[in-house]
Amino acid sequence: MAAAAATTPHSLLLQRAATPAAPPRAAIAASSLRLSARAARISCAAVAAPSPAAAAAADEAERGVYNFAAGPATLPLSVLKRAQAELVDYHGSGMSIMEMSHRGKEFDAAIKKAEADLRALLAVPDTHAVLFLQGGATTQFAAVPLNLCAGPTDPADFVVSGSWSDKAFKEAKKFSAASVAWSGKDGKYTALPPFDAIKQNPEARFLHICSNETIHGVEFKDYPEPRNKSGILVADMSSNFCSKPVDVSRFGVIYAGAQKNVGPSGVTIAIVRKDLIGAAQPITPVMLDFKTHADNASLYNTPPCFAIYICGLVFEDLLAQGGLAEVEKKNAHKAGILYDTIDASGGYYICPVDKSVRSHMNVPFTLAKGPDFEKQFIAEAAKEGMVQLKGHRSVGGVRASIYNAMPLAGVEKLVAFMKDFQARNP
């Protein structure tokens, strides 16, 4: 280090100042003042943080697009850059986290920290286990009844508020006597029921909801109380997981695919009340038994190591933002800007979802001028750097997914484009 320091620019300047041809003291003093001022400017520039708008502009310039995909979805650029920096040599191990043993000390530390940070974010009580699983949330459509129902004759209640809760109900029918306690199908999945309108069976083993329907843009703002004897509420939280605080103690099971808000595809997170673990049906495959994973700290077999690692980085990022209460405020602000633009368009843009249950994560809308103009809208938006705005193939239209990692600048750019498009295509 000493040799390197001897050849720095500042040391060379000092060496020159010490030669016999040194200028008069007044010149040296003036030169020193100029150097000090320059050093101060450099120091200030090094520590000054860019404004949020400048940071967003820099991110857009680097990435080239704002990604409104419903999932896999945009991730924080800071997380991607950190993963990039650590990819080849993870924490000085000489290995990538993608190639090291899942039973080695490095990955053991990574998965434990990911769980600890998730517990901190959601205030997960000790009564609940955190499991890192595979197979997507869709696999939990089977795992939940297999673990919570004694057999195929045990009843279970489902609130069917959109495509995903409908799929969960249909899968559960294979392993339980599942029934629909309420359905929004007749209303094209644009509303949620008053909780007293949910026809619960007191003998049901659990009440299942989807907290946010990714396709239809319907989100629970509060949660129904289960009236079954066991008091078990189950929620698929895939598309609003870690977007706001949740009282985990109210739930028997929470499960979520990570690829919306907290990571890449490949890992599913389940938070399960511990007293519900260990009574799976005899036919339950070993990989669908919650006990298998709880007993082995999510390491029964090789887990999706890289996906879990990325989730851990996202959890760190969310904590650094001030936790989920702060994240919720940002999400509500972004969603408000977009919905206000839709509602102020004079019917040019239409969001069919009841205002009281509009999702803060997935905003579906159509154009009154019809599908051809929707295609034009999506194509022109893509040319302007706003991609993946096409609605789900089952419903069409436009859908803007504005998860945690979507910056405010992305939503602001979208609404500016919406206003411009309307002005150009009256």
Q: Are 202 and 120 part of one and the same domain?
A: yes
pLDDT value of position 17: 35
> 237 in a domain, yes or no?
yes
Q: Last residue of a domain, which of 321, 347, 377?
A: 321
Q: Last residue of a domain, which of 273, 304, 321?
A: 321
H or E, element range at 210: strand 207-210
Q: Are 316 and 334 part of one and the same domain?
A: no
Structure tokens at 232: 């078990």
Contact call for residues 97 and 109 (beta carbons, < 8 A): no
Q: Are 72 and 121 part of one and the same domain?
A: no
> 39 in a domain, yes or no?
no
pLDDT value of position 63: 83
pLDDT by residue (tens digit) across 279-321?
999 999 999 999 999 999 999 999 999 999 999 999 999 999 9
Say which residue the tokens 């996202």 belong to.
314
- Residue 122: give its domain's CATH number: 3.40.640.10
Q: Are 179 and 328 part of one and the same domain?
A: no
Nearest Cα residue to 70 out of 314, 410, 364: 364
Residues belonging to the active site: 164, 236, 260
> 18 in a domain, yes or no?
no
Q: Are 148 and 271 part of one and the same domain?
A: yes
> 374 in a domain, yes or no?
yes
Could you say which DSSP state residue 49 is in?
P
Measuring CA to CA, how many Å separate 319 from each of 90, 243, 316, 401? 22, 12, 5, 22
Q: Are 304 and 393 part of one and the same domain?
A: no
Nearest Cα residue to 211 out of 248, 254, 179: 254
Measuring CA to CA, how many Å separate 268 from each of 137, 246, 311, 343? 6, 18, 10, 35
Q: Are 310 and 360 part of one and the same domain?
A: no
pLDDT less than 70: residues of the chain:
1-57, 59-61
Helices first, then strands: H and E counts in the chain: 13, 14
Q: Are 288 and 340 part of one and the same domain?
A: no
> 95 in a domain, yes or no?
yes
**What is the tally of structural domains in the chain?**
2
> 105 in a domain, yes or no?
yes
Q: Are 141 and 288 part of one and the same domain?
A: yes
Range of the domain at 206: 80-321
Q: Is 26 exposed, middle or buried (0-12, 13-18, 19+ CB in 10 A)?
A: exposed
- Residue 345: give its domain's CATH number: 3.90.1150.10
Please name the amino acid found at residue 322. Answer: G
> 33 in a domain, yes or no?
no
Q: Distance between CA atoms of 322 and 383, rounded to whole angstroms?
A: 35
Q: Are 248 and 361 part of one and the same domain?
A: no
Q: Are 104 and 125 part of one and the same domain?
A: yes
Structure tokens at 7: 């050849």
Q: Last residue of a domain, which of 301, 321, 341?
A: 321
Structure tokens at 55: 């940071």
pLDDT value of position 399: 98
Q: Are 310 and 385 part of one and the same domain?
A: no
Main-chain dihedrals φ then ψ at residue 326, nearest 5 degrees: -70, -40
pLDDT value of position 29: 43
Structure tokens at 162: 């959109």
Please name the amino acid found at residue 414. Answer: L
> 288 in a domain, yes or no?
yes
Q: Distance between CA atoms of 170 and 178, rounded to whole angstroms?
A: 8
